[in-house]
Amino acid sequence: MFRRFLNVATLPLIKYKKPILAASFISLTSFYCIEDKNILEARKKIEQDILKMKSQFGSDADNYPEVKYGTKGNRYSITFIADQRKCDIFALLVNILSSLQKLDGSFKIKEVHSTFENQIYSLQIDFEESVGNPKSKIKTQGTIYIYGEMTNEKPSIQIILEKTDQFSNTDLEAFMACYIEANRPRSMVHPKNFQSNQQIQEEIKHQQEIKTEKTLQELEKTGVTIFLPDSKEKNLDWNYLAGYEKQKRDIEDTVLLALQYPEIYESLTALTRVKNEPNRPKAILFEGPPGTGKTTTARIMAQQVQIPLVYLPIESFMSKWYGESERQFADIWKSCQKLGRVIIFIDEIDAIAQQRGGEMHEVSRRILSTLLRKIDSFESNTNVLLICATNRKQDLDAAMLSRIDLSVKFDLPDHQARQEIFQRYAKHLTDKERDILSQLSNGMSGRNISDICKDAERRWAAKLIRKEVTEQLPSLAQYKETLTQRLNNFA
């Protein structure tokens, strides 16, 4: 039914994406609510309509769910909880979308995001609405959310209508059409209908997986590297990166927690700012020498919040043909956005974002301009987080630096951090032996130490094969020998 409805009413206007995680919007009802004119007028009209419903449907209507009002970033929201045993969620969609489409071409569906995982169904429909007189129409953005479990044990689903600016009369009529459809008196829907709904959602999930896989293949052809987080992977956490405790805390406080609990950060802005604007970071900069954990940190972040990480090497979009580099860059960026929530990681950003002057290559100048426009175009509810890495921050363009929300510096590891790195790669050594290696490796990066330990293991394995040693594990002497050789090679 759902597929047929989309084909008839909205298919030419829809672009599918992997959805925003449902956790990013299911707590809307607890958001701080600004009782401004828009909210007050919406509340007044809806309460009047509910009174009419109670009068029409009789005393059984006393259990109608409460309608709640709130804000999310720079958006207003109204929401209620429905019992899906008493209604059909697709009938709810038909009612709300049919009401919105009464705008005579001023209503357009922009994107549809859907997912069905672990018995939890989430649907997000982004739309655009033109209001005002024909000569001076203003476009506003809106979103319809439906979220809940497709089971008899937990039958509640959440319906949310979210708008920028103000709710129009048509918006409120559409919301009430959905509310009435969900709560009008009827007999209970037979439980077997849940199976048909689930089958539909399984089909949606399957189609979404196909589209996501196609997007991943498109990206891989461009030369980017994609890291997909694995919920079963337990080892890739902050313990994987030795040292850098302050850097980890900064990233957690300003980036990770903001991605995991956006409603708390946004409710603060509603209380502190004259204009309610988002405060979640859009772009962050990792600076420091090679091998200090910048890329590893990006992978840990992606794993922690379960968001794909797209590693974008400079060579993936550089071209000798005029205009081709920035076009390729824009295409890659667009494909990344199709993944839904995503982290884009650009290493050696200084190669394309140097201070603009006479010596800057024209291709780099155009790519930088494209990148700056992409950052500026981030919406308040953007799913894209940009991470740039460099070991030459002093060379970056001022316009680029001004768009960075957080700068994290990764210095070479100190004595304690080097000991912790040796503990990770040579756990069989004693604390005293690791202390000796830490002193000898002063000035080395974490990658250098990792390479030394790997080289020592290979050389020790060769000695075991030749029966030159009897001990199974590499000795301190082997690590010292390998470390000294590396120092001499790079002296």
Tens of pLDDT, residue by residue over 183-242, are 877 644 443 444 444 555 565 566 667 777 888 888 888 888 889 888 677 778 898 888
Same domain membership, residue 317 and residue 261: yes
Query: The CATH number of the domain where 327 resides is what?
Result: 3.40.50.300
Do 22 and 147 form a contact (C-beta atoms < 8 A)? Answer: yes
Confidence of residue 359 (pLDDT cuts 50, 70, 90): low
- How far apart CA 118 and CA 98 sit, in angstroms, is 30
User: How far separated are the first and last CA of the chain, in Å rounded?
Assistant: 71
Between CA 59 and CA 363 the distance in angstroms is: 71
Token digits for 82?
């429905």
Contact (Cβ atoms closer than 8 angstroms) between residue 316 and residue 227: no
| Structural domain contains residue 213 | no
Lookup: tokens for 66:
């409460």
What are the tokens at 113?
Answer: 């995001």
306, 158: one domain: no
Of the candidate ranges 93-102, 186-195, 352-361, the one whose mean pLDDT is the lowest = 186-195
Pick the last residue of a domain from 375, 409, 443: 409
Q: Which amino acid is at 79?
A: T
320: exposed, middle or buried (C-beta count within 10 Å: 0-12, 13-18, 19+)? exposed
Residue 328 belongs to what domain range? Answer: 222-409
Residues 305 and 382 in one domain: yes
Yes or no: say if 198 and 120 are a contact pair by the CB < 8 Å rule.
no
Domain count within the chain = 3
User: Which two structure tokens, joined as six digits, stand for 369?
Assistant: 């301009």
Clarify whether residues 147 and 232 are in a common domain.
Answer: no
13 and 155 co-located in one domain: yes
The answer to whether 444 and 436 are in contact (CB under 8 A) is no
CATH number for the domain that contains residue 455: 1.10.8
DSSP state of 311: E
One domain for residues 152 and 280: no
Model's pTM, two decimal places? 0.60
pLDDT digits 0-9 by tens, 423-451: 999 999 999 999 999 999 999 999 999 99
117-131, 327-341, 384-398: range with highest mean pLDDT: 384-398
Among 409, 442, 476, where does a domain finish?
409
Torsion of CA 313, 314, 316, 322, to 10 degrees: 170
Residue 239: HSE in the Cβ half-sphere, 13 Å Cα cutoff: 5
String of DSSP letters for 409-435: E-PPP-HHHHHHHHHHH-TTS-HHHHH
The predicted-structure confidence for 472-487, as pLDDT tens digits, reads as follows: 999 999 999 999 998 8
Alpha helices in 162-261 (DSSP H): 169-183, 192-221, 245-251, 257-260
Please check whether residue 235 is in contact with residue 298, taking contact to mean a CB–CB distance below 8 angstroms.
no
Asked if the structure places residue 128 within a domain, the reply is yes
Asked if 107 and 175 sit in the same domain, the reply is: yes
Q: What percent of the chain has pLDDT over 70?
A: 78
The widest CA-to-CA distance across the chain, in whole angstroms, is 94
Q: Is residue 9 situated within a structural domain?
A: yes
